[in-house]
Chain A
């Protein structure tokens, strides 16, 4: 995973709440067995609508998505994170994330930064008044700001995910370094626990 420290990119106001992962990428786009190429399904139901924010040229190259509360609820599909990344998003800002989505984002290297709802509303106004303007996200300092400095605030992310993103660490590698502890735990499991084979 690439290290994430700061990111500056065009902010995209997605003025909706409860954007579940079926909206981010409908199930019909989940048939691929590869890890990439999911951007064709991103917000598929809305992409046909000319007025949809990603269809407006000023936001087309966006990389910081600013969404309403309860972003990424529903299905566990990590394809939702991959679709956002494949499109070019590096950061999603929302007042509240679905648990599994937030976990998936952290694993895959997409920054899911939790901000106050007031900040989201201020950013929506700012990005609509200044289409194509940039947002600066600093993971080290846990801050988010508009490029002109008009809006500056902090965001929440748990310490462990932040550290892993800053270092670009692979979870599996970390866990496998504790192999002896896993083996010790396994040796003590009750014999009546079921096996599938």
Chain B
């Protein structure tokens, strides 16, 4: 019997396999940031251990950094201590670090692919649940906790029980104006937040093949939001074209050898998945969330659902709690929901292509009265490249704020937070209670819907906008 993509990558990384024990997997790349690493480095120090492979480890600062005044000392002393602790640890243990102010600084999951460090067939871990982003390249990538961060630092391996495999086949093509974000939000609404639990998911089918690398990263990024251990997409010409020439991509004969191997990283025709889901891309429309988990979403054209729409008692109770928290009435058209803040950024949608898409929608328009638009590039390099294309001018002329790189308003940790009761349309990945600040209310959307929403002040798609006054 043939193997799935996930099984091939897994098998290539087994250091040790013993019945009754998890496999010990070798880790090709370990990404580190300031929030989930200090206790891990402390553990090493206490045990007198070193970092086994600093040359397979990369640190940057993203979660807890400001997106304005990043050239000044961080104002919050507790945040500053955390960032300075990472700098001290990186120096002491010899780990390469891209600190705030460096052109390669940014969100870990934007930085890895952009440098060409994320490559097909690798095992990649990070103390961050959105590590599945890197699966877009055909890597087995997943988030780990701090104890595991310490384990990987010390051993460059991780004991892992083998997850089951699932295929999500997306047939047909996404309609014009429908994005990777709409696709993944639609999928999560169908499966629920626990639907992928215990599985490595492979996204496949025509609509997936037709996605750019950025779109594939958006899809894989949100694998954790339906509980999956990891999301993967088999590498193809799109992947190789993205990688070729990047700073850490192989060169010359090494490139040829690598590509020859990468071409074998596809699921064999006779391989069997433990579970399969099929989704028709042609039926997907712009999709937004109404509730407090990423599975509570509906098409933008729909209305806020009623708890009575759910048969399962737990789902019914969850809907009641979510509507109360979100301050929404069942039956309200989603398009009538007014937002205070629009956030474009994050590891889900903070790449150059996302900023281009949002800028194309907003060009020639103004941000609505009473609404603020925050545009936060995923990395300092994305910011620079966007500025070289003049995207910053488009956003600034529309009345948006153009910020420095970081996780920003995706999580209420750094200075970019919302006030209690404030409502956002956000291109990030989680609409959990309080995620964007205590009492904040989040609607997850695509960059295109975010931009149109900023113009109208209510949840909107680009099709709702009057022609721009250019």
B193 interface residue (CB < 8 Å to A): yes
Contacts of A100 in B (CB 8 A): 129, 142-145, 224
Instruction: Report whether B119 and A45 are in contact in the complex, using a CB–CB cutoff of 8 Å.
Output: no
Alpha-carbon separation in the docked complex, A195 to B248 (Å): 7
Instruction: Report whether A107 and B145 are in contact in the complex, using a CB–CB cutoff of 8 Å.
Output: yes
**Contact status of A172 and B47, CB under 8 A, knowing A31-B79, A196-B56:** yes
Query: Shortest beta-carbon distance, A114 to chain B, in Å?
Result: 11
Instruction: Report whether A192 and B194 are in contact in the complex, using a CB–CB cutoff of 8 Å.
Output: no
Alpha-carbon separation in the docked complex, A189 to B129 (Å): 27
Contacts of A186 in B (CB 8 A): 26, 156
B354 interface residue (CB < 8 Å to A): no
**Contact flags B213-237 to A (C-beta < 8 A → 1, else 0):** 0000000000011010100000000
Alpha-carbon separation in the docked complex, A158 to B20 (Å): 10
**Contact status of A22 and B433, CB under 8 A, knowing A182-B15, A196-B58:** yes
**Contact flags B74-106 to A (C-beta < 8 A → 1, else 0):** 001011011001000000000010000000000
Find the B residue at minimum CB distance from A107.
B147
Query: Shortest beta-carbon distance, A127 to chain B, in Å?
Result: 18
Contacts of A174 in B (CB 8 A): 159
Find the B residue at minimum CB distance from A22.
B432
Query: Shortest beta-carbon distance, B32 to chain A, in Å?
Result: 10
B307 interface residue (CB < 8 Å to A): no
Find the B residue at minimum CB distance from A191.
B254
Alpha-carbon separation in the docked complex, A98 to B225 (Å): 10
Binds B, one of A2-10, A73-81, A142-150: A73-81
Q: Which A132-188 residues have a C-beta within 8 angstroms of B? A: 158-160, 171-172, 174-176, 178, 181-182, 185-186
Instruction: Report whether B24 and A190 are in contact in the complex, using a CB–CB cutoff of 8 Å.
Output: no
Query: Shortest beta-carbon distance, A69 to chain B, in Å?
Result: 6
A20 interface residue (CB < 8 Å to B): yes
Alpha-carbon separation in the docked complex, A23 to B432 (Å): 8
Alpha-carbon separation in the docked complex, A181 to B257 (Å): 26
Instruction: Report whether B129 and A158 are in contact in the complex, using a CB–CB cutoff of 8 Å.
Output: no
Alpha-carbon separation in the docked complex, A178 to B17 (Å): 11
B460 interface residue (CB < 8 Å to A): no
Instruction: Report whether A70 and B193 are in contact in the complex, using a CB–CB cutoff of 8 Å.
Output: yes
Alpha-carbon separation in the docked complex, A52 to B203 (Å): 41
Determine which of A33, A76, A108 lies in contact with B81 in the assembled complex, contact meaning CB atoms within 8 Å. A33
Instruction: Report whether A159 and B117 are in contact in the complex, using a CB–CB cutoff of 8 Å.
Output: no
**Contact status of A195 and B56, CB under 8 A, knowing A108-B147, A185-B15:** yes
Contacts of A158 in B (CB 8 A): 161
Instruction: Report whether A196 and B57 are in contact in the complex, using a CB–CB cutoff of 8 Å.
Output: yes
Instruction: Report whether B39 and A33 are in contact in the complex, using a CB–CB cutoff of 8 Å.
Output: yes
**Contact status of A175 and B36, CB under 8 A, knowing A26-B438, A35-B42, A100-B143:** no
Find the B residue at minimum CB distance from A36.
B39
Interface size class of B (residues with CB under 8 A): 35 or more
Determine which of A32, A96, A108, A175 lies in contact with B159 in the assembled complex, contact meaning CB atoms within 8 Å. A175
Alpha-carbon separation in the docked complex, A160 to B129 (Å): 23
Alpha-carbon separation in the docked complex, A171 to B261 (Å): 33
Instruction: Report whether A178 and B145 are in contact in the complex, using a CB–CB cutoff of 8 Å.
Output: no
A122 interface residue (CB < 8 Å to B): no
Q: Which B153-174 residues have a C-beta within 8 angstroms of A? A: 154-157, 159, 161
Query: Shortest beta-carbon distance, B256 to chain A, in Å?
Result: 9
Find the A residue at minimum CB distance from B129.
A76
Determine which of B28, B52, B82 lies in contact with A33 in the assembled complex, contact meaning CB atoms within 8 Å. B82
Determine which of B38, B39, B52, B117 lies in contact with A196 in the assembled complex, contact meaning CB atoms within 8 Å. B117
Instruction: Report whether B155 and A182 are in contact in the complex, using a CB–CB cutoff of 8 Å.
Output: yes
Alpha-carbon separation in the docked complex, A108 to B28 (Å): 25
**Contact status of A76 and B55, CB under 8 A, knowing A33-B81, A99-B198, A192-B254:** no
Instruction: Report whether B58 and A178 are in contact in the complex, using a CB–CB cutoff of 8 Å.
Output: no
Instruction: Report whether B147 and A160 are in contact in the complex, using a CB–CB cutoff of 8 Å.
Output: no
**Contact status of A33 and B432, CB under 8 A, knowing A98-B227, A197-B54:** no
**Contact status of A175 and B24, CB under 8 A, knowing A74-B129, A194-B116:** yes
Find the A residue at minimum CB distance from B46.
A35
Query: Shortest beta-carbon distance, A171 to chain B, in Å?
Result: 6
Instruction: Report whether A31 and B82 are in contact in the complex, using a CB–CB cutoff of 8 Å.
Output: yes
Instruction: Report whether A69 and B145 are in contact in the complex, using a CB–CB cutoff of 8 Å.
Output: no
Chain B residues close to A by CB (< 8 Å)? 15-16, 20-22, 24, 26, 28-29, 35-36, 38-39, 42, 47, 49, 52, 54-58, 63-64, 76, 78-79, 81-82, 85, 96, 116-117, 119, 122, 127-129, 142-148, 150-151, 154-157, 159, 161, 193-194, 197-198, 224-225, 227, 229, 248-250, 254-255, 257-258, 261, 292-293, 314, 317-318, 321, 411-413, 417, 430, 432-435, 438-439
Closest 7 CB pairs of A and B: A107-B147, A104-B145, A78-B145, A27-B413, A33-B38, A76-B143, A192-B250
Please, could you name 26 A-B residue pairs with CB atoms under 8 Å apart, sorted by A?
Answer: A18-B292, A18-B293, A23-B433, A26-B434, A31-B78, A32-B82, A33-B39, A33-B42, A45-B434, A45-B438, A73-B293, A76-B143, A78-B145, A96-B194, A104-B145, A160-B22, A172-B47, A172-B49, A172-B154, A175-B157, A178-B15, A178-B16, A189-B26, A190-B258, A196-B54, A196-B96
